[in-house]
Amino acid sequence: MDRFTLLATHALSSALFGFALVQHSDLGIVAGALSGAVVFLCLRHLHDTMAFARDKREMEEDLNFLRTATVSMRGSLDDTKRSLMAATGALARRAEAHEKKVAIEFEAIDRFLSDIPVGGEGKPKEIAAPAPATSYARTPGDPAMLEIIRRSLEENRVDLYLQPIVSLPQRKVRFYEALTRLRSADGSVVMPSQYIKVAAPAGLMSVIDNLLLLRCVQIVRRVSQKNRDVAVFCNISGQTLADKEFFPQLLEFLRSNRDLSNQIVFEFAQDTVLGVSRAAEAGFKALRELGFRLSMDQVVALDCDFARLRPLGFHFIKVKARTLISGMKQANAPVAAEDFSKLLSRAGLNLIVERVEDEKSVVQLLDLSLEYGQGFLFGEPKPIRDAGDIYDARTKQLTAAAAARAAPGLARRLAG
């Protein structure tokens, strides 16, 4: 109701009240008019009082709304501030964890390089290892090759090579195998077939395996930024698996890098897998429990119990192309070549045919329903000379900082 209508209503009500008093009482017209005026003023006062109370109530409601909105806004700002602080803290913790992880890597390298003996006046020193067989004095290997191995490790002349493993028949790269090569002082490449037979009796394979693993971790971390579907096969020697001092340290290192478990596959030779004791199988199971997959290569006998491999953590078996094409009988295979992949599949294993060198072999192998292939035909091993090249600028800064804290001398040696 608008103000004019309200005033007219009050005036009419007051006039009627005054007229009624004149008609039904002894009051005169003047007294009736005054009585009507008093009623009009009372009605106006009552209306103003009620309007003030209503306005006050509405104002209080508005104030309460504003107060609630302010509190809510302050809470939202506080929540936003807390979220920003949490995100900043998470980034800081992530950077700190990365620095610690890099520090662990450098500490591991420094520890194992410090175990390598340094010759003095033509007489080699004993290797700091619990087994007597790991000393140079007891090593029957080639002294010249032993010196090349020692110097290569000390001076960080251990190169990482990657060779692709492709899907068949698409030939799409699915994995890489990491391979190590040593370089002598004159730049000559020393192949595994040359140095393993000398390094193993000298107890140095654990050192080489460790360097290979650290490089694999670095490579995988860089590659995973672009593609988390590609895994790297990393060879581990039987000597490393049986090393009661080193292997627990390796497991501890892997535990701190278990986020890469889907991208690193550990590979063991068949004679290591079949010759390991039941007690030593715990090493395979420990890797499996950390989420890492295993592979068996250097396979020469196909009559082994493949069903027991999957519970140990094995997912892949590598067999040479020559064996599958014409050597199944010599390898004592229980089935024909065309059924061998199915036999492994029933045991939960994937077959990788290796050393595929020409197209003729591929034509023969495709009839065997193979999943993966490896060999010079699909790609030769390519060197990654400097693992530091895989880092971006920020990671290089973190690496340098971690190395300076962990082992300053080693940081300078590796940087050189």
- The string of DSSP codes covering 36-72 is HHHHHHHHHHHHHHHHHHHHHHHHHHHHHHHHHHHHH
Kindly tell me the burial class for residue 384, based on how many C-beta atoms sit within 10 Å of its own C-beta (0-12, 13-18, 19 or more). middle
User: Does residue 274 sit in the same domain as residue 336?
Assistant: yes
How many folded domains does the chain comprise?
Answer: 2
Min mean pLDDT across 138-142, 155-159, 221-225 is at 138-142
Residue 20 in any domain: the answer is: yes
Region 2-30: mean pLDDT is 65
CB pairs under 8 A, 24+ apart, for 405-412? Answer: 405/103, 406/103, 406/104, 406/106, 406/107, 406/110, 407/106, 407/107, 407/109, 407/110, 409/110, 410/106, 410/109, 410/110, 410/113, 411/106
Min mean pLDDT across 83-87, 104-108, 318-322, 383-387 is at 104-108
Residue 393 in any domain: the answer is: no
Secondary structure string (H, E, C) spanning 93-161 = HHHHHHHHHHHHHHHHHHHHHHCCCCCECCECCCCCCCCHHHCHHHCCCCHHHHHHHHHHHHCCCEEEE
User: Does residue 131 sit in the same domain as residue 64?
Assistant: no
The sign of the dihedral angle between the CA atoms of 298, 170, 325, 358 is negative
Residue 410 has pLDDT above 50, yes or no: no
User: Does residue 176 sit in the same domain as residue 320?
Assistant: yes
Strands 293-297 and 382-384 come out as: unpaired
Residue 88 in any domain: the answer is: no
| Segments forming the whole domain that contains residue 21 | 3-74
pLDDT of residue 124: 31
Residue 86 in any domain: the answer is: no
Task: Count the Cβ atoms, other than its own, within 10 Å of residue 181.
Answer: 18
pLDDT of residue 18: 59
User: Does residue 134 sit in the same domain as residue 49?
Assistant: no
- pLDDT tier, 204 (very low <50, low <70, confident <90, very high otherwise): confident
pLDDT of residue 409: 43
User: Does residue 222 sit in the same domain as residue 333?
Assistant: yes
Task: Give the type of residue at 304.
Answer: C
Question: Which of 104-118, 223-237, 292-306, 358-372 has the highest average model confidence (pLDDT)?
Answer: 292-306
Dist. CA 94–CA 297, nearest whole Å: 37
User: Does residue 133 sit in the same domain as residue 15?
Assistant: no
Its pTM stands at: 0.62
Residue 300 dihedral angles phi and psi, to the nearest 5°: -120, -20
- pLDDT tier, 163 (very low <50, low <70, confident <90, very high otherwise): very high
- Identify the bridge partners of residue 233 per DSSP, sorted by sequence position: 177, 265
- pLDDT tier, 296 (very low <50, low <70, confident <90, very high otherwise): very high
Last residue of a domain, one of 45, 74, 103: 74
Q: Which residue has the higher pLDDT, 340 or 89?
A: 340
- pLDDT tier, 277 (very low <50, low <70, confident <90, very high otherwise): confident
User: Does residue 59 sit in the same domain as residue 202?
Assistant: no
**DSSP class of 77:** H
- pLDDT tier, 81 (very low <50, low <70, confident <90, very high otherwise): low
Dist. CA 87–CA 149, nearest whole Å: 47
> 224: part of which helix (H) or strand (E)?
none
Residue 244 in any domain: the answer is: yes
User: Does residue 53 sit in the same domain as residue 154?
Assistant: no
Task: Count the Cβ atoms, other than its own, within 10 Å of residue 300.
Answer: 14
Residue 153 has pLDDT above 50, yes or no: yes
Q: Which residue has the higher pLDDT, 91 or 373?
A: 373
pLDDT of residue 201: 84
- pLDDT tier, 34 (very low <50, low <70, confident <90, very high otherwise): low
Residue 127 in any domain: the answer is: yes
User: Does residue 225 sit in the same domain as residue 274?
Assistant: yes
Residue 411 has pLDDT above 70, yes or no: no
- The string of DSSP codes covering 272-294 is HHHH--TTTHHHHHHHHHTT-EE
Region 407-415: mean pLDDT is 42
- pLDDT tier, 193 (very low <50, low <70, confident <90, very high otherwise): confident
Dist. CA 196–CA 198, nearest whole Å: 5
Task: Give the pLDDT confidence of 367-408 residue by residue, as tens digits.
Answer: 888 999 999 999 999 988 544 444 344 334 433 444 344 334
Cis check: omega of the bond before 311, within 30 degrees of 0: no
Q: Which residue has the higher pLDDT, 247 or 405?
A: 247
Looking at residue 124, which CATH number applies to its domain?
Answer: 3.20.20.450
Residue 110 in any domain: the answer is: no
Residue 307 has pLDDT above 80, yes or no: yes
Q: Measured at the alpha carbon of residue 250, what is the angle toward residues 244 and 255, in degrees to the nearest 5?
A: 130
Residue 319 has pLDDT above 80, yes or no: yes
Mean pLDDT, all residues of the chain: 75
User: Does residue 238 sit in the same domain as residue 293?
Assistant: yes
Strands 350-354 and 314-320 come out as: parallel
CB pairs under 8 A, 24+ apart, for 303-312? Answer: 303/331, 303/332, 303/333, 303/334, 304/270, 304/274, 306/343, 306/344, 306/347, 306/349, 307/347, 309/273, 309/347, 309/349, 310/347, 310/348, 310/349, 312/281, 312/284, 312/285, 312/288
User: Does residue 8 sit in the same domain as residue 122?
Assistant: no
User: Does residue 301 sit in the same domain as residue 168?
Assistant: yes
> 231: part of which helix (H) or strand (E)?
strand 231-235
Residue 308 has pLDDT above 50, yes or no: yes
Last residue of a domain, one of 23, 43, 74: 74
Last residue of a domain, one of 43, 74, 105: 74
Residue 87 in any domain: the answer is: no
CA distances from 409 to 110, 228, 355, 414, 415 (A): 9, 34, 41, 9, 10
